[in-house]
Amino acid sequence: MKMLALTYRYIGPDAAHQLLLEPIERGDNVVIPISGEQYMKMFPHVGRTELEDQTYVLENIYDPKLAVHEPDILLVYIGHHAVDKTAEFLTHFGGSEVHVVTCQCDLEARKKALSTYAFRRAIMHPQSECGGNKTMHRLVMEFLETGALHYPRPS
């Protein structure tokens, strides 16, 4: 199974222990992390703000037309910025199981953005902390161990 994990921030329990921009393999399970914050560290001359990071990542780092990257599972953090652009981006993944990580801040706007693009089949994980880095990390580790993601537990 292959997962693409996409966020404008980083994926990890904290900034000192974050996943790098390289595939992680465990048995038959592979995670391809795409992190705007990691990318910005590699190419600091880009100089993007938080508002632009996720949009920049979507437009310049990941090409959804590349079949080699067609994931079984897409795990994406939708933050306060670039909500519409991210929701639109999800429409490129018709064959993938999509999990959306988000916090409670302005949750209705994020749900509305998903429905605007007729993307109602996304599995929401709305119990994330702001920024989603810890929740994304937990879900990535779950996938590497089991080859699947489970539906979020109700709070």
Q: Are 90 and 76 a contacting pair, CB within 8 Å?
A: yes
| Residue of higher predicted confidence among 88 and 73 | 73
Give the per-residue SS3 of 118-148.
CCCCCEEECCCCCCCHHHHHHHHHHHHHHCC
What b/e sequence results for 88-100 when a residue is b if at least 16 CB atoms lie within 10 Å of its CB, and e otherwise? ebbeebeebbbbb
The answer to whether 31 and 149 have CB atoms below 8 angstroms apart is no
Q: What percent of the chain stands above pLDDT 70?
A: 72
**Has residue 102 got a pLDDT over 70?**
yes
The upper half-sphere exposure of residue 86, i.e. CA atoms within 13 Å in the direction of its Cβ, equals: 31
pLDDT-based confidence at residue 71 (cuts at 50, 70, 90): confident
With a cut of 80, say whether residue 76 has pLDDT above it: yes
Other CB atoms closer than 10 Å to residue 59's CB: what's the count?
12
Which pLDDT score is estimated for 51?
A: 46
Task: Give the pLDDT score at 67.
Answer: 41
pLDDT of residue 155: 45
**20-61 pLDDT, tens per residue?**
777 888 999 988 887 766 666 665 555 555 545 555 665 655
Rounded mean pLDDT of the chain?
Answer: 77
- Residue-wise pLDDT for 115-148, tens only, equals 876 566 778 888 889 888 899 999 999 999 999 9
Q: How confident is the model at residue 53, as a pLDDT?
A: 56
